[in-house]
Amino acid sequence: MHGYLLTAYGAPLSHVPSDLPDLRPGPGEVLIRNEAIGLNYPDALMVQGKYQKRPEPPFVPGRDCAGTVIAVGEGVDGFQPDDPVVAQVFSGAFADQVRAPLNRVFPRPAEVSAVDAAGAMTVFNTAYVAVSIRAKVKAGDRVVVTGAAGGVGAAAVQLAANLGAHVVGIVSSEEKAELVRRSGAGQALIIADREEEPLKNAFKTQVRRTWGDDRGADVVIDTVGGTMFQAGLRALGFAGKLVVVGFASGDIPAAKANYLLYNNLSVMGAPLDIHFDEALDQIREGTAWWLGLLAAGKAQANVTAVLPFDQLMQGLQDILDRKVTGKLVVRTGAGA
């Protein structure tokens, strides 16, 4: 098989693909003929050794993949060769064969391409944890999503809208606003100022003006952190909930407990990986739901570029350099 074997951590462009031995599935594993790889910010951290969990080299990095089943290991029911699947693994996706634990493999509808499924896997499941499991968004809720043109942000906008919520996406440019509008769900507000006080004032004023009253938002899904987190708190109404998804700004904020108490607010985290271990049934339910939305054309994976396999590390560098809007996907030799 062909893959990226990391023998040492380093900048993305320091890694090159090579020929590797073919794989065989172990007990409880599914061996996948990988056709498409979704690239994510954590992947860029992983290859540098900057992710919070660090496998000891040598290893093949990568988390999101989609293709068809080659073989299954002992004790695996529900999958057989040639079944279309999508998977999220801790490592191993940057190759044209992937050995995945059964609890991280999901049936892929025939209507959903490997490219769209791989591009959507981490971002839609993260958005599902934030929107449905943690915030419990329901029809009629007012939902604000920061970083709405990013992978998780765009997915959260679409999932909340499909639940019947009134959604506002916060973006920093007209180009990003257009991406939110093209998703067919939610409104886009452009707020470019990142200084805390101007940002808080603009955020609160524009969000509340959108709904024509002073009630505020029921839920803020924050993917940005920093001053955007503080601004999101100020836009919440009574019993509002702010869900922390990530810190794209690089600034990890803190909330003042007296402000939460005085305004009856909740702040909660929405980590994805732990849900595979602690809430697998909910992850399976959510994955089936959003894959069904993609299959029915009610949501979009927002894949903006498909790269050849030998350009995978350039894609990760572009993510680090903030050159990417939407999702990058790599097509393997098996998917050509």
For residue 206, name the pLDDT band (cuts at 50, 70, 90): confident
Q: What is d(CA 10, CA 25) in angstroms, rounded to the nearest whole number?
A: 29
pLDDT of residue 40: 93
Distances from the Cα of 317 to the Cα of 50, 222, 245, 310, 322, angstroms: 14, 24, 22, 13, 9
Indicate the domain borders of the chain.
Answer: 2-121+275-335, 136-269
User: What CA–CA distance (Å, rounded) separates 184 from 175?
Assistant: 15
Cα separation of 166 and 144, whole Å?
A: 9
What is the per-residue pLDDT for 303?
Answer: 93
Q: Give CA angle at 281 (278, 287), nearest 5°.
A: 110
Angle between helices 196-211 and 226-235 (to 10 degrees): 40
Q: What does the pLDDT look like over 18-59, one tens digit per residue?
A: 999 999 999 999 999 999 999 998 899 999 999 888 899 999
Give the sign of the dihedral formed by CA 159, CA 46, CA 171, CA 181.
negative
- pLDDT given for residue 184 in this prediction: 67
Report the chain's mean pLDDT, rounded to a whole number.
Answer: 93
Bridge partners (DSSP) listed for residue 32: 69, 98
Which stretch of DSSP H or E encloses residue 176? Answer: helix 174-182
Please check whether residue 327 is in contact with residue 120, taking contact to mean a CB–CB distance below 8 angstroms.
yes
Q: Phi and psi dihedrals of 132, rounded to 5?
A: -95, -50
d(CA 204, CA 198): 10
Pairing type for strands 2-3 and 18-19 reads antiparallel
- 282-308 in b/e burial notation, b at 16+ Cβ within 10 A? ebeebbebbbebbbeeebbbbbebbbe
Average pLDDT (73-79) is 96
**Span 212-270, pLDDT tens digits:** 888 899 999 999 999 999 999 999 999 999 999 988 877 899 999 999 999 999 999 99
Residue 124 CA neighbour count, 13 Å, CB half = 32
pLDDT tier for residue 209 given thresholds of 50, 70 and 90 = confident
pLDDT tens readout for residues 144-193:
999 998 889 999 999 999 999 999 999 988 888 888 888 766 788 888 77
The whole-number pLDDT of residue 149 equals: 87
pLDDT band at 114 (very low <50, low <70, confident <90, very high): very high
Q: Per-residue pLDDT for 336 more than 70?
A: no
Is residue 100 classed exposed, middle or buried when 0-12, 13-18 and 19+ CB atoms within 10 A define those classes?
Answer: buried
Beta strands in the chain (DSSP E): 2-3, 18-19, 29-38, 64-72, 84-88, 97-101, 105-107, 142-146, 166-171, 187-190, 217-222, 236-244, 266-269, 303-308, 327-331
- Domain spanning 2-121+275-335: CATH 3.50.50.60: no
Instruction: Say what percent of the chain tops pLDDT 70.
Output: 99
Q: Domain 136-269 belongs to what topology?
A: Rossmann fold (3.40.50)
pLDDT band at 199; cut points 50, 70, 90: confident
- Predicted confidence (pLDDT) at residue 108 exceeds the cutoff of 70: yes
Query: In the 8-state DSSP scheme, what is residue 69?
Result: E
Q: How many CB atoms lie within 10 A of CB 14?
A: 12
With beta carbons less than 8 A apart as the criterion, state whether 203 and 170 touch: yes
Instruction: Supply the pLDDT for residue 218.
Output: 97
